[in-house]
Amino acid sequence: MPDGLPAEIDLSRPSAARVYDYFLGGAHNFEIDRQLAEQIASMTPNLAATMRAGREFLRRAVRVLLDAGIDQFLDIGSGIPTVGNVHEVAQAANPEARIVYVDIDPVAVAHSRELLAGNERATAIRADLREPKLILELARSSGLIDFDRPVGILLAGVVHFIPDVDRPGDILAALRAAAVPGSFLVVSHSTFEDQPQEMLDAQRLSARTDTEITLRSRAEITGFFGDWTLLEPGVVHMPLWRPDSPADVDERPERFGAFGGVARYDHAG
Ligand SMILES: C[S@@+](CC[C@H](N)C(=O)[O-])C[C@H]1O[C@@H](n2cnc3c(N)ncnc32)[C@H](O)[C@@H]1O
């Protein structure tokens, strides 16, 4: 076991968080992760760009939330901290902003804690999205999130790791139920819609990690926002969600394989 890593990590299987870190150019990955990443990359040379597009979507969404006055963020499935993390974007705009990162992967959490050492307004906890009540409790007891005030709930690239049998709709409903009006929900999620066969094959390789991906339709992904009000332009291929500049939008935005959207809770009940 390499130094400084939690004993419970399984180095015999690739991990989604570490594969993702490798694609983003991070250093928090092992040979087993790099092998899977290279295999995926050889099938879909586009996938690293997809992951960066996901990160860019998240950054743009966080900026919109900051402009709306959100100063506390619950980022679930936050991954291994690489460049342009939520706390960096948020605290650059508002030094008082508070962030709780949540991930199921012990390596992601260990590295997040390392990176956040000395940052009193951000923390990382290890928990499973399939236990939303526990996540809410841990976020509350961290002292960083006050659910009596509007909160930004971020689920970027993570709900597709929840198979239908684990009832992702109920999980999202439990998270939404904890928030007061004025709160926001950000979701990005892989899809089979408009995808070429090689992308679908590459996604199937995720079955080799502990976290297999379930691709969903735009309608299913839209359902995760419940009765909250979708911000324009709705649930769209990620690069089409409020690009910084029209020049940033790829000729084929569907090639990034995921939809993104942001919604606001406008009314009680
Ligand atoms: C593709 S990464 C997304 C990282 C980050 N949100 C972003 O958009 O840049 C997905 C992350 O979700 C985590 N994850 C997968 N299943 C999870 C679960 N059931 N609960 C919490 N985190 C989970 C993985 O460990 C991984 O770090």
Please report the domains of the chain, with CATH numbers, ordered by start residue. Answer: 45-197+214-265 (3.40.50.150)
- Other CB atoms within a 10 A radius of the CB of residue 224 amount to 23
For residue 161, the CA-to-ligand 1 centroid distance in Å is 8
pLDDT value of residue 268: 58
Does residue 103 have its Cβ closer than 6 Å to ligand 1? yes
Name the residue with the closest Cα to ligand 1, atom 5: 78
pLDDT (tens digit per residue) in 235-253 = 999 999 999 998 888 888 8
pLDDT value of residue 23: 82
Name the residue with the closest Cα to ligand 1, atom 24: 17
d(CA 216, CA 219): 8
Which atom, in ligand 1's list, is nearest to the CA of 75? 6
pLDDT value of residue 108: 87
Name the residue with the closest Cα to ligand 1, atom 13: 77
Is the distance from CB of 236 to CB of 150 less than 8 angstroms? no
Does residue 211 have its Cβ closer than 6 Å to ligand 1? yes
Hey, what are 252's tokens?
């084929």
Which atom, in ligand 1's list, is nearest to the CA of 15? 25
What is the b/e burial string over 10-48, where b = at least 16 CB atoms within 10 angstroms of the residue's CB? eeeebbbbbbbbbbbebebbbebbeebbeebbebbebbb
Residue-level pLDDT, tens digit, the chain, 269 residues: 455 566 667 778 888 888 888 887 888 889 999 998 888 777 666 667 778 899 999 999 999 999 999 999 999 999 876 667 899 999 999 999 999 999 998 888 988 998 899 999 999 999 999 999 999 999 999 999 999 999 999 999 999 999 999 999 999 999 999 999 999 999 999 999 998 887 777 777 766 766 678 999 999 999 999 999 999 999 999 999 999 998 888 888 888 889 999 999 997 55
d(CA 85, CA 82): 6
Query: 127 to each of 75, 92, 176, 233, how far by Cα in Å?
Result: 12, 27, 18, 32
Query: 196 to each of 47, 49, 237, 255, how far by Cα in Å?
Result: 13, 16, 15, 8
Does residue 125 have its Cβ closer than 6 Å to ligand 1? no
pLDDT value of residue 1: 41
pLDDT value of residue 233: 98
Does residue 79 have its Cβ closer than 6 Å to ligand 1? yes
CA 211-64-131 angle, to 5 degrees, is: 30
Does residue 158 have its Cβ closer than 6 Å to ligand 1? yes
pLDDT value of residue 168: 98
pLDDT value of residue 98: 98
Does residue 20 have its Cβ closer than 6 Å to ligand 1? yes
Which atom, in ligand 1's list, is nearest to the CA of 128? 20
Name the residue with the closest Cα to ligand 1, atom 27: 79
